[in-house]
C-alpha cells in the first residue's frame, strides 16, 4: 500500500517511466471523457465540443448498453495510474501531470454548477491520487464486491484469458522501453491539454473540492462488500443510474403507505395489492418516495424515462373494435378466477355481447380474457382514439399483484386481436477488473 515518505524519496526517472506514466494519464482522461459522454449525455449535451481527446481510441460497444462498465474500466485505469505514480514518479513529475489535469478541467468548461455529484467525487478522487496514490482507491478495490470469487473456475478462466490478452501489449512496451534506453528523460515532452489554463482549472477544482468535502468520505469508487444490505441503502445516484440504464423497469406511480397515498419511484417487480398497497416490507423493496430526490435528480429521472420511451404505436384494429363493439364501465373491481386474484378498482371496456357474471363470494365481476380490457392497458394515443379523455384517466396504482398477469390481460389478447408483445431483455455480464503487479 502507498507510503507517502517512500514516494517522496524518488528523485529521478528514466525516459521510459516518464513516457509510460504520461500515456497512462492520457488513457485515464480518455476513459473519463468516454464515461462522461455515456453516463452524463443529458447533463452535457454539447460534450462532443467540450471534450479534449477527439481521436478517442476506445472502440468497445458494450459500454453503450451497460454504462456501468465504462465507470468500472475508468476505475481500473485510475488504479493502475495511481500504482505507477507511487513507484515511478518524482514529486516534480506528479505536479506536472496534476497541472495538466487542471488544464483539462478548464478546457472542458466543467464547473461546480453543471457537474453532477458523483462526477464531482470522481474528479476529487483523480486529483487525490497525485498526492496520495492508492490510499483510497486501493482500499475500495480491495474491499469491492466481486461478481465471481477468486477461487472459482470462472475466475481462473477469466484470469487466464486476461493473461493471454496482455502478452502482446507487454511485448510492445518492452520494445518501447528498449528504444528509450539511455535517453535523457528531460527530452520526453508531456502530451497534455494546451487549450486549457491550469490556474483557472485549479480554481474550478477548488470549488468542486469544497462542494464535496463532506460527501467524499462516503464516496466509493466501486460497490463495496456488504455495503448495500437492502434497496433502501442505495444512494440516489445509484438509483438514477439504474433508471437511466434500464428505464423500462421503472415507473413513477402512487401507492398507499400506512393508509397514506404517496408518489413513488417503483421497480416493475414490486408486488402491490388490489388496494394499491405494497405487499411486504418497504424496507426490502425498491420503492423510493419521490420526495427523497431533489429537483435536479427528478429532472434526470424524467429525462431518462421520456427519452427512452419507444415511439407510441396505435393498434388501430383494437381501437376500431372498442369503438364499435364495447362500452366503458367505471370503477370496477374485477376477479380473475384462473389466477384467483383481484384487479384493482378501475375503468374497463367491455364487449357488448359479453354476458356478465359475478363471483358468488365477492360479488365482483368475473374477468373474461377476450371480451374485457382495462382503459389503463391502452397507451395514451389509443385512449384518445377511443374517447377516453384525460379527465377520465384516473391515477391507479398497479395493474396486478404480479407482472405476468399484466400479460394475460394485455391489449393484444383483447377481442381476439393478434399482436406482438415487445420485451426488453436485460442481460448482465461478468466484469473482471484487470490488475497489474506493482513494479518494485
430 part of a folded domain: no
Q: What is the pLDDT of residues 63-120, one digit of tens each?
A: 888 888 889 899 999 999 999 998 889 999 999 999 999 999 999 999 998 898 899 9
- Is residue 432 scored above 50 in pLDDT? no
Identify the H or E element spanning 351: strand 341-351
- Provide mean pLDDT across the span 326-336: 86
Q: CA–CA distance from 236 to each of 242, 306, 415 (Å)?
A: 10, 19, 43
b/e code 334-345 from CB counts within 10 Å (16+ = b): bbbeebebbbbb
What is the Cα gyration radius of the chain? Answer: 28
407 part of a folded domain: yes
Same domain, 236 and 333: no
Same domain, 63 and 201: yes
Same domain, 82 and 141: yes
Beta carbons within 8 Å of 170's beta carbon, 6+ residues apart: none
What share of the chain has pLDDT > 70, as a percent? 76
Range of the domain at 243: 231-308
Q: What is the pLDDT of residues 137-168, one digit of tens each?
A: 988 888 887 766 666 777 677 777 767 766 77
Assign 46 a pLDDT band (cuts: 50, 70, 90): very high
Assign 189 a pLDDT band (cuts: 50, 70, 90): confident
At residue 226, the pLDDT reads: 65
Q: Which one has a higher pLDDT value, 414 or 386?
A: 386
User: Is residue 257 classed as helix, strand or coil in its secondary structure?
Assistant: strand
Same domain, 392 and 292: no
At residue 173, the pLDDT reads: 79
Answering whether pTM is above 0.75, one says no
Per the structure, how many domains does the chain have? 3
CB atoms within 10 A of CB 220: 18
Same domain, 246 and 211: no
What share of the chain has pLDDT > 90, as a percent? 22
- Provide mean pLDDT across the span 171-197: 83
Task: Of 368, 344, 369, 373, give the one whose Cα is nearest residue 358.
Answer: 368
Cell triple for residue 155?
Answer: 475466475
Torsion of CA 230, 232, 238, 243, to 10 degrees: 110
User: Is residue 431 classed as helix, strand or coil in its secondary structure?
Assistant: coil
Beta carbons within 8 Å of 73's beta carbon, 6+ residues apart: 31, 60, 63
Assign 174 a pLDDT band (cuts: 50, 70, 90): confident
Q: What is the pLDDT of residues 341-369, one digit of tens each?
A: 777 778 889 988 888 888 777 778 888 87
User: Is residue 163 classed as helix, strand or coil in its secondary structure?
Assistant: helix
409 in the Ramachandran plot: left (φ > 0), alpha (ψ -120 to 50) or beta? alpha
422 part of a folded domain: no
- Provide mean pLDDT across the span 124-133: 94
Scanning 180-315, the segments in alpha helix (DSSP H) are 198-211, 236-245, 295-308
At residue 210, the pLDDT reads: 93
Same domain, 244 and 272: yes
Q: How far apart are CA 80 and CA 138, in angstroms?
A: 10
Scanning 295-402, the segments in alpha helix (DSSP H) are 295-308, 316-325, 380-385
437 part of a folded domain: no
- Is residue 391 scored above 70 in pLDDT? no
71 part of a folded domain: yes
Domain boundary among 308, 343, 368: 308
Same domain, 272 and 392: no
Amino acid at each position: 500500500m502507498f507510503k507517502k515518505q517512500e514516494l517522496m524519496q524518488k528523485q529521478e526517472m528514466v525516459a521510459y517511466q516518464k513516457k509510460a506514466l504520461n500515456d497512462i494519464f492520457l488513457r485515464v482522461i480518455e476513459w473519463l471523457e468516454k464515461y462522461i459522454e455515456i453516463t452524463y449525455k443529458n447533463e452535457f449535451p454539447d460534450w462532443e465540443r467540450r471534450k479534449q481527446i477527439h481521436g478517442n481510441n476506445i472502440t468497445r460497444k458494450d459500454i453503450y448498453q451497460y454504462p456501468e462498465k465504462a465507470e468500472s474500466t475508468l476505475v481500473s485505469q485510475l488504479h493502475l495510474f495511481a500504482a505507477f505514480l507511487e513507484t515511478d514518479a518524482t514529486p516534480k513529475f506528479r505536479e506536472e501531470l496534476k497541472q495538466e489535469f487542471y488544464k483539462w478541467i478548464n478546457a472542458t468548461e466543467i464547473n461546480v454548477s453543471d457537474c453532477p455529484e458523483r462526477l464531482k467525487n470522481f474528479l476529487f478522487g483523480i486529483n487525490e491520487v497525485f498526492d496520495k496514490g492508492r490510499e483510497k482507491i486501493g482500499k475500495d478495490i480491495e474491499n469491492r464486491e466481486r461478481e465471481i470469487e477468486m477461487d472459482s473456475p470462472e475466475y481462473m478462466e477469466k484470469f487466464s484469458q486476461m493473461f493471454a490478452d496482455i502478452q502482446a501489449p507487454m511485448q510492445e512496451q518492452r520494445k518501447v522501453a528498449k528504444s528509450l534506453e539511455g535517453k535523457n528523460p528531460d527530452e520526453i515532452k508531456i502530451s497534455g491539454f494546451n487549450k486549457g489554463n491550469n490556474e483557472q482549472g485549479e480554481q474550478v477544482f477548488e470549488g468542486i473540492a469544497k462542494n464535496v468535502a463532506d460527501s467524499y468520505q462516503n464516496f466509493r469508487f466501486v460497490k463495496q462488500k456488504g455495503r448495500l444490505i437492502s434497496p433502501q441503502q442505495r444512494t440516489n445516484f445509484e438509483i438514477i443510474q439504474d433508471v437511466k440504464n434500464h428505464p423500462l423497469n421503472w415507473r413513477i406511480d402512487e401507492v398507499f403507505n400506512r393508509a397514506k397515498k404517496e408518489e413513488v419511484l417503483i421497480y416493475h417487480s414490486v408486488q402491490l395489492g388490489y388496494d394499491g398497497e405494497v405487499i411486504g416490507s418497504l424496507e426490502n423493496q425498491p420503492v423510493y418516495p419521490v420526495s427523497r430526490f431533489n429537483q435536479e435528480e427528478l429532472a434526470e429521472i424524467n429525462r431518462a424515462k421520456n427519452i427512452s420511451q419507444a415511439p407510441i404505436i396505435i393498434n388501430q384494429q383494437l381501437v376500431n373494435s372498442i369503438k364499435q363493439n364495447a362500452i366503458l364501465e367505471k370503477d370496477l373491481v374485477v376477479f380473475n378466477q384462473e389466477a384467483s386474484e383481484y384487479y384493482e378498482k378501475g375503468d374497463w371496456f367491455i364487449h357488448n355481447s359479453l354476458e356478465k357474471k359475478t363471483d358468488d363470494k365477492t360479488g365482483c365481476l368475473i374477468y373474461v380474457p377476450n371480451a374485457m380490457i382495462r382503459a389503463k392497458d391502452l397507451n395514451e394515443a389509443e385512449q384518445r382514439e377511443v374517447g377516453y379523455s384525460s379527465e377520465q384517466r384516473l391515477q391507479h396504482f398497479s395493474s396486478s399483484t404480479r407482472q405476468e398477469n399484466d400479460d394475460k390481460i394485455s391489449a393484444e389478447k383483447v377481442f381476439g386481436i393478434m399482436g406482438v408483445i415487445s420485451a426488453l431483455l436485460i442481460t448482465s455480464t461478468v466484469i473482471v477488473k484487470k490488475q497489474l503487479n506493482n513494479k518494485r
